[in-house]
Structure 1
């Protein structure tokens, strides 16, 4: 196994460990503090950003492995169609070499595919746990639990649970601002053109009485 596929395997093992740690039952207060720390920690935010870039490279490796599997499968199918010619031209070691390439390509494809799939599951599980903790804290607050009121952990969970919605709203706001800027530019252009046309019309109106005289 090459170095980068070894790193992908290590990342897959890390994802499995993180997933198991997420589903381990913990007391509510401890779980709330843990997820509040994860949501507020700048180190975790940088780590998540780096992992997103890493998953882009893993996606490229996955597509490359799928392409390799397809090429090896095509080569094997072309050999099976003409088995007599293949038996005359290829020896057993060559057949084993093709089968080995097929095995390694499939292994790399499954490795990268499971790593990407587990990353999606981890993200959804994390967001669902955040939403569950936020709802549980909201229920405690409605019941009048004083510990849930004015809690920094609750505020952190609430902000983390709404992070995706806030990001979408920010993108929409930025798009609206760009639209407004474009409308302003168009309005300024129309105003300049209107003033120019008004000056031309007024100039012609001034010249007409002079000619009549």
Structure 2
């Protein structure tokens, strides 16, 4: 196994260990402290950024392994077809074993990279779900009057779990404020137009009275 596939295997084992640590039942206080540390630690943030780049390279390896599997399958199918048709391409014992070995290694690399990417998605989703659960538990305790839930931990979990939601709400709020400003300008224009037309109607009504 080459170096980069060995590193991919080590990453897969690490993901399995992390996943097991996430699903292990822990007391609420311990779990809250753990996820608060993960959410606030700058080292963890840098590690997550580095892992995103690593998964991009693993995706490239996965695409390459799928391509190799396809090419080996085509080569093996073509040789088998020629053998059945009585062609000149005949795979001997050693050649056939070499093709089968390349097929095995290509499939192994494809499964290794594929499961690593798939488990990374599962870890990300599990992490987000646990954050949501902790935030909801903090909210329930706050509504019940628990003062401990009003501190730094609740805000940290809320910010970690709702970063994208907060950004979306801010954009919607800015859009609504622009709509309100536009409506104010339109209302002011309609008011001015109404006053102008009212003055014109009043002026036209007063002219016949003076002529009489």
Residue in structure 1 matched with residue 2 of structure 2 by the alignment: 2
Rate the CA distance shift 1:97–1:142 in 2: closer, same or farther, 3 A: same
Residue 153 of structure 1 corresponds to: 153
Q: What runs of 5+ residues in structure 2 fail to find an aligned partner?
A: 176-212
Give the Cα separation in 1 of the matches to 2:147 and 2:21: 29
- Structure 1 position 79, deviation (Å): 1.3
User: TM-score if structure 2 supplies the norm length?
Assistant: 0.77
Residues 128, 26 of structure 1: alpha-carbon distance in 2 compared, 3 angstrom cutoff: same
Hey, what's the Cα distance between the residues in 2 that align with 1:108 and 1:56? Answer: 16
TM superposition shift of 1:163? 1.5
- Which deviations, in whole Å up to 9, do the C-alpha atoms of 1:107-132 show, x marking residues without a partner? 00000000000000000000000000
What are the residue-to-residue correspondences of 1:1-213 with 2, within 5 Å? 1-84=1-84, 85=86, 89-149=90-150, 151-167=151-167
Whole-angstrom CA distance in 1 between matches of 2:39 and 2:169: 19
Could you tell me which runs of 5 or more consecutive residues in structure 1 were left unpaired when the two chains were aligned.
Answer: 177-213
SS of equivalent to 2:147: coil
Distance 1:7 1:159 in 2: 33
Q: CA deviation at 1:88?
A: 6.8
Larger Rg: 2
Query: 4+ runs of 1 displaced by more than 4 Å?
Result: 84-88, 167-170
TM-score (normalizing by structure 1): 0.76
Deviations 1:7-29 (A, max 9, x none): 00000000000000000111101
- Whole-Å separation in 2 of the counterparts to 1:36 and 1:65: 38
Q: 1: CA distance between counterparts of 2:147 and 2:2?
A: 56
Distance 1:62 1:88, change over 3 A: closer
Residue 167 to residue 62, structure 1, CA distance change in 2 (3 Å): farther
2:194 corresponds to: none
Number of residue pairs matched by the alignment: 172
